[in-house]
Structure 1
Amino acid sequence: MTTSLFQPIQLGSLALKNRIVMPPMTRSRASQPGDVPNDMMAKYYGQRATAGLIVSEGTQISPMGKGYAWTPGIYSPQQIEGWKKVTSEVHAKGGVIFAQLWHVGRVTHPDNIGGEQPISSSAIKADNVKVFVDNGTTEPGFVDVTVPREMTKDEIDQVVAQFRQAALNAVEAGFDGIELHAANGYLVNQFIDSEANNRTDEYGGSLDNRLRFLDQVVATMVEAIGKERVGVRLAPLTTLNGTVDANPIETYIGAAELLNRHQIGYLHIAEVDWDDAPDTPVSFKRALRKAFQGVLIYAGRYNGEKGAQAIDDGLADMIGYGRPFVANPDLPARIQNNYPLAEHDPNTLFGGGEVGLIDYPAYQK
């Protein structure tokens, strides 16, 4: 039974119609030049507006924050206007949408950031990590990331200010809130995880120091747009994009407690989701639930039954379904009615046009 997924839930002042989340998924379809959201993206999100909550694809807060070719930004007037098309379409269909704000830090290549050297918490290259660049074709061209340089304190202050401005821009663009991407090995995660951060100043070493950047970014965004409109995504037990923590349980319970003090709207946990990955221990999920009192979202290897069970067990309030939303724009109806799920074409995930983005049909009996 999947009944629990279809109970309404309150997220701050927002009344969500169900507990199904469309989590952020990079699709790399922004218009060039300028990384501008477009009509095709508006249709894509509008098709999926039956989710209780949509979180947009990762959206760079500055030119230096860009990790991959053709991802959208939210720092220029043109980008803000482009996002207005998306939010208008989602709201017209009765949906709720948050903007995921990211800075990728070292997970990029100079070709994606105007020839600059990437920045990070420390001058440590991410091992065995590739990103894709625009190589003059419509296919993503994968290349190795490069060695970043350690951010100065002035640069840290600049990026904190860019996150604040991006949150304000998101509200101007019509988003209902924002999600800070502090997961999957990107910049905020590069400060949090011990093995990606060898700084010797107040941003490195102890757990409190490694959480300082997260603390400052969340504080400035809460102050700018209100705590209820801020969510944060963490990936406690993954090692995506080369970030590893020596004591992830301790680190991420600490992060959850910090976020609870800010009284943000939700905490979004990205679980390890490849097929033979270990499950996140239930004891850890219970500890997270104790540490964070807001809405708790999990995304990973969930189907309808597993998602409903996590809610029934009190471990989660909402469940994110990533890849199933790619080929099933009507995913909530399919889960509710036990309709079969379509499979997506992995070759059309990144780049290209409408094929593999907006041409997946709703289920027909």
Structure 2
Amino acid sequence: MSKLYQPIQIGAVRLDHRIVQAPLTRLRSEQPGDVPSAMMVKYYAQRASKGGLQIAEATPVSVQGRGYLGAPGIYNDAQVEGWRKVVDAVHAKGGIIFLQLWHVGRQSHVSLTGGAAPLAPSAIPVQDLVYTRDGWVKTSPSRALETVEIKEIVEQFRQGAIRAKAAGFDGVEIHGANGYLIDQFLQDGSNKRTDIYGGSIENRTLFLLEVTEAVTSVWGGERVGVRLGPSGTFGSMSDSNPDALFGHAAAQLNRFGLAYLHLIEPRIDGSKLRADGLPPVAAHQLRRVFKGPIIAAGGFERDSAEAMVESGDADLVAFGRHFAANPDLVERLRRNLTLSPHDRDTFYGGDERGYTDYPCHDDLAEVA
């Protein structure tokens, strides 16, 4: 049997297999209010599998943390109730689901933040795009956080963790990748601070560690994961020494006894495969540093996923676009069945098309 289908213990959670649904931003929450919708309940239930892990999409911990219209939140009671319906549907199929806690930082627009300037470690102009009622628009100019405000955002992550527990999730993942706020603090291309959160690698890692401390105070480390994107460039990101930075971050995270470290391989830029065909190397590098389970994500196919776990570089593999188009992906990979192609035009926002209308393989066979 492929190692992909061998059970594994990650922290307090036992999984029946090692195929993970990656957190996918799909922008289908109810508006206004960012409340998880009935469509979302169906979507996650379709993709749930017995003993399988789903990481729910990036979810802002505050209004100021929003960056994409339609992303569900976890900062009020209505959102908790909406998420509870999603969680209950996944649990009904024997699945396990973590919530990804998110703050976009400078990747936002004043129409999403209640008119306030987006927050960042440093007020560095960027020309990235975010999703608003007017479609994809350039980010609004950001402002640098005051030192005291950083503690307030740490508390927002803690409150998000509390609300995720109230919604019934099995754990949470801290989003520290893809050019969002935690990543902005980590990388020196976006962090030019001169206080305790800037300068040295140790200082730039501090915000990540404080957020992790706050979240594990709610859940315990055994039900918390962290997602990092070593060498990620999405969101105008860069660092002068990414190997040293992310090696230090991974080593420091060992102190929390995390359920897992979730790594985006550098061959991914945003949600797209890079054209230069880079191999997966992040998990291989950080396996020497991080002591707990590792999830690798980034353009994997069945064969490359099996090779990854067989090599020991990662313990689990997360799939994104394949899960979007194949609600029964776990079974298709198990039986080596043909995968349905995804429609990138329906990834962000919209209705059921390209979201909950993808059929399972056996349903296609019955139609044929």
Same fold, TM-score > 0.5, yes or no: yes
Cα deviation 1:24-81 (Å, max 9, x = unaligned): 1100010011100022101100111127210011000000000111110001100000
Shift of 1:223: 1.2
Aligned to 1:346: 344
Between the aligned partners of 1:211 and 1:280, the Cα distance in structure 2 is 26
Question: Does the Cα contact within 8 Å between 2:72 and 2:79 map onto a contact in 1?
Answer: yes
Deviation string, structure 1 residues 311-347 (Cα, Å, up to 9, x no partner): 1111000001100001100001111111111112212
When residues 290 and 119 of structure 1 are mapped into structure 2, their CA distance, relative to the original with a 3 A threshold, is same
Cα separation, 1, equivalents of 2:56 and 2:263: 16
- Where does residue 220 of structure 2 map in the other structure? 226
Counterpart amino acid of 1:97?
A: I
Corresponding residue SS for 2:210: helix
Equivalent position SS for 1:166: helix
CA distance in 1, matches of 2:322, 2:160: 29
In 1, Cα distance between equivalents of 2:274 and 2:138 = 25
Q: RMSD in angstroms over aligned alpha carbons?
A: 1.3
CA displacement at 1:4 relative to structure 2: 1.1
> Structure 2 unaligned runs (5+)?
none
Deviation at 1:279, TM superposition (A): 2.4
1:4-43 equivalences under 5 Å are: 4-43=3-42
Count of matched residue pairs:
357
Identity of aligned residues (%): 46
**Secondary structure of the corresponding residue to residue 240 of structure 1:** coil
Where in structure 2 are the equivalents of 1:89-100 lying within 5 Å?
89-100=89-100
Kindly indicate whether residue 42 of structure 2 is the aligned counterpart of residue 48 of structure 1. no
SS of the residue corresponding to residue 116 of structure 1 reads coil
Kept after mapping to 2: 8 A contact 1:31/1:37: yes
- Alignment match, 2:275: 276
1:111 alignment partner in structure 2: 111
Deviates more, 1:299-308 or 1:73-82: 299-308
- Provide Cα deviations, 1:202-224, integer angstroms capped at 9, x if missing partner: 00000000000001000111112
- Judging changes above 3 Å, is the alpha-carbon distance between structure 1 residues 219 and 124 closer, same or farther for their aligned structure 2 residues? same
Match of 1:301 in 2: 299
* Cα offset, 1:287, TM superposition: 3.4
Looking at structure 2, the residues matched to 56 and 334 of structure 1 have their Cα atoms a distance apart, in angstroms, of 21
| Residue type at the aligned position of 2:17 | N
Q: 2:248 aligns with which of 247, 251, 254?
A: 254
| Residue aligned with 2:354, SS | coil
Matching residue of 1:182: 176
Out of 297, 308, 316, the residue aligned to residue 314 of structure 2 is 316
Distance 2:24 2:255 in 1: 28
Q: Deviations over 1:202-248 (max 9, x none)?
A: 00000000000001000111112111111000000210111111111
Q: For 1:21 and 1:147, how far apart are their aligned partners in 2?
A: 36
* SS at 1:110 equivalent: coil
Question: How far apart are the structure 2 equivalents of 1:147 and 1:97?
Answer: 35
Cα offsets for 1:95-129 (capped at 9, x unmatched): 00000010000001111111110000011122x31
| Displacement of 1:291 | 0.9
Q: Kindly tell me: are residues 100 and 277 of structure 1, through their superposed partners in 2, closer, same or farther at Cα, counting changes over 3 Å?
A: farther
1:138 is matched with none
- What one-letter code is carried by the residue in structure 2 that aligns with 1:26? T
Contact 2:284 2:314 in 1 (8 A): no
Output the CA distance in 1 between the equivalents of 2:30 and 2:61.
17
Which secondary structure does the structure 2 equivalent of 1:291 belong to?
coil
Cα 1:13–1:202 change in 2 (3 A) is: same
Give the Cα separation in 2 of the matches to 1:359 and 1:98: 24
Contact 1:106 1:125 in 2 (8 A): no
Q: Which residue among 160, 164, 174 is the counterpart of 2:158?
A: 164
Assess, with a 3 A threshold, how the Cα gap between structure 1 residues 275 and 124 changes in structure 2: closer, same or farther: closer
State the 4+ residue runs in structure 1 displaced beyond 2 angstroms. 277-282, 284-287
Q: Counterpart of 2:250 in structure 1: which amino acid?
A: A
Q: Contact conserved, 2:28 with 2:350, CA < 8 A, in 1?
A: yes
Maintained 8 Å contact 1:123/1:148: yes
**Whole-angstrom distance in 2 between the partners of 1:75 and 1:229:** 20
Distance 1:249 1:296 in 2: 17
Equivalent residue, structure 2, for 1:59 = 59
User: Shift of residue 146 of structure 1?
Assistant: 2.1
Q: CA deviation at 1:262?
A: 1.6
Confirm whether residue 132 of structure 1 aligns to residue 131 of structure 2.
yes
Deviation at 1:87, TM superposition (A): 0.2
Given residue 190 of structure 1, which amino acid in structure 2 is its aligned partner?
Q
Q: How many angstroms does 1:278 deviate by? A: 4.6
8 A Cα contact 1:234 1:270, kept in partner = yes
**C-alpha separation between the residues in 1 aligned to 2:92 and 2:67?**
31
TM-score, scaled to structure 1: 0.95
CA distance in 2, matches of 1:263, 1:95: 23
